Amino acid sequence: MSELHEECGVVAVYHLPQATASPLCPTQGASEVARLVPRMLLDLQNRGQLSAGMTSYNPQRQPLLRTYKDVGSVAEVFHQSHADLYRRQMDELAGSAAIGHVRYATSGREDSSYAHPFERTHIKKNKWFSFAFNGQLANYDYLKTQLLEADHNSCFARESDAEVVYHLLCAAVKNSERNLVKVCQSLTRPLDGAYSLVFLNALGEMFVARDPHGIKPLCYAFDGSLFAAASETVALFNLGFTPEQIVDVPAGAMVIVTPERGVELRKFAESPRTAHCFFEWIYFANVASVLDGKSVYLARKRLGEELARRETVPLDEDSIVVPVPDTSKAAADGMAYALKLPCLEGLIRNRYSGRTFIEGGQSRQNKAKTKYTPLPQVLEGKRVFLVEDSIVRSTTMRVLIKRIREVGHAKEVHVRVACPPIVAPCFYGIDMSTYKELFAVKFHDKYFPMKNACCNDDLTTNWNMTHEIEMEMEQDLGCDTLRYLPTSALSRAIGLPPLSLCQACVNHDYPTEWGCKMSDRAREMFLNGVEGRTYE
């Protein structure tokens, strides 16, 4: 799973101007709660390490809105290892309201101009705003073309879906008559995909919104004075809000915060069905978070127990369970406990080796070698059950199996995957948009050709994990055995009905119209041997 790119994360804070100071305020007081944003973003660092930024609002300051953002981790961007620089920066950004963002790019380059939030200045306060966006638009190309055709004098400065949102938001603000519900409705009506938004204008008005399918997570808390929102509950809990105060934003809903009306939960779009991304529980989210009422840690633990129930390899005193650090730990613990086996850290992750997913080919393999160190003292002579979240492209898994054998001197390596095979691309924010790059596809397509399939045909009905497919996968990876979980295990482990989850990458069931269109296009490219991504 280190081969998967993380998603983005958003946060927001707002202290009502006439309210009693919240006990959760920083020591500088209610007028400077913007200082809370960097610590909230640190709790979401797992969602993106490419860039970070924030916009604050201060009615006593010129400019009313001030934005700071740059490439790097939260600690790097906000100079948290340099006390004087950090203090000076926080003094400049102090305010009674703020929004923040950590970014990993599913589109767009790695430079500061792509970092969020995006601020738009204007002489009118209601049209002077900043916003941050977590997600991906499946109809990005279509919307971009529509915007360019509507005005032939226009052009795009960046290749990112956030810029499409920016232009649509400018138009929505212009035509909304200062009604934030209308702003959100006008903005989101043409959008197809997964997103959560945070918005702040120079009037001191804020809203946070979640897409009509609830694909991306978003939650908020309010103690009567201080409002805060974040992609994950851990950021709110660590601020000091109680679990009872933290609430998920419903799909198709927005929370509006204004000086005059306080905090309001409003519906801006109908929600035909929820489709929460199951990968949030499997991998993306902080293990301490609770998403849509379901614990990330407990979901991963139950996935491990599902693996244990399906184990058929004989166990003995030389058998051990080893997680691939770090997000597989809970699943490995659950499996080991159920099988009464020791769960040992036979692989140590070097947290300072960088991200393996940035480079491809041989460079990515070399990165994987430096990222994990096998421990011969733990692995030598052992029957190793190696637990991983998922196998997407298989580059990292191949390296790990080889090094566990050659460096760790393990007797056997049995790979156990706490997820079904990834058999379809994602167009909602996970960086895997082609069939060709997916490890499982070439084996399944050999036995169950998908040339006659179309969107929402459940490929898993035919794409069963036969013994022949398993043997070919094992030989290709270099492990003794390989076992995946079935799709039915996901909803059981998470605790939500299957139709409440987006499982398109494992069952081909895309919850939106443009997700289906992009899937059909990707499949056509795969069948015709066309290289490249489905959309750039």
Residues designated as active site: 8
Please list the alpha-helical segments (H only) found in 126-256.
Answer: 140-150, 161-175, 180-188, 233-237
Cα angle value 88/227/198 (rounded, 5°): 75
Contacts of 363 (CB under 8 A, 6+ apart): none
Q: Are 422 and 439 in contact (CB under 8 A)?
A: yes
The tokens for 363 are 């460079």
Please list the alpha-helical segments (H only) found in 177-290.
Answer: 180-188, 233-237, 279
The residue count of the chain comes to 536
* Burial class for 20, CB neighbours closer than 10 Å (0-12, 13-18, 19+): exposed
CA distance 172 to 201: 13
CA distance 132 to 9: 9
The tokens for 304 are 């491990």
Q: Are 220 and 208 in contact (CB under 8 A)?
A: yes
CA distance 172 to 181: 10
Main-chain dihedrals φ then ψ at residue 207, nearest 5 degrees = -145, 150
CA distance 242 to 291: 15
CA distance 319 to 377: 14
Q: CB neighbours (10 Å) of residue 157?
A: 8
CA distance 448 to 29: 63
The tokens for 127 are 């049209």
Within 13 Å and on the Cβ side, how many CA atoms surround 298?
Answer: 10
CA distance 104 to 231: 14
Please list the alpha-helical segments (H only) found in 176-250.
Answer: 180-188, 233-237
Q: Is 102 helix (H, G, I), strand (E, B) or coil?
A: strand
End-to-end C-alpha distance for the chain, whole angstroms: 22
Q: Is 194 helix (H, G, I), strand (E, B) or coil?
A: strand
Q: 412-417 and 383-388 as β-strands: parallel, antiparallel, unpaired?
A: parallel
Contacts of 32 (CB under 8 A, 6+ apart): 25, 26, 94, 95, 96
